[in-house]
Amino acid sequence: MKFRMDYDAARNRILVEIRDFWTVETVQAFAAAAGAKAQEVRAIRSDYDVLIDSRAFPVQANDVADLLPSIAEAGLTLTSGRAASVVGSALNKLQAERTQTHPRMRIFMTMEEAEGWLGEAR
C-alpha cells in the first residue's frame, strides 16, 4: 500500500498516508483516488482540511516530485480549508517546500505542529 485516504468527519479532515518510492504510474493512481475522495467529501462539506502523513515517504525522483504539486493545487480548489504535510526528514522538507507553494499548504516535521496549524483556522 503506497497510499491511503480516510475522512474524519468529527474533525472535517481528509487523512492521507503516503509511503515508499513512487513511479509516475503511482502518482496517476494517487491523483485519481485523491480527486475521488475530495469530491466525496466536498458533497458533505466544502471547508475540509487535509492532513498528509508522509513521514514514510522518502525523497522522490524529480519526475515524481514535480507532479505532486498539481495534485495539491487541484485538491485545494475544492475546499476552503488548509492542507498540512508532515515529513520524515529535513531533506524531505526541503523537497516538499520546493515543490509545494500553495498559500494554504504548509510542510511540518511533526504531527503536533501540523495539527496546531490546522486547528488555528477553526
Please report which confidence band the pLDDT of residue 98 belongs to, taking 50, 70 and 90 as the band edges: confident
* Domains identified in the chain and CATH numbers: 3-120 (3.30.750.24)
Using the 8-state DSSP alphabet, how is residue 61 labeled? Answer: P
Q: What digits encode the pLDDT tens for the residues 45-69?
A: 999 999 999 999 999 999 999 999 9
Q: Residue 52's beta-bridge partner residues?
A: 16, 85
Enter the C-alpha cell of residue 105: 499548504
pTM exceeding the 0.85 threshold for the entire prediction: yes
CA distance 96 to 47: 23
Neighbours of 76 (CB within 10 A): 18
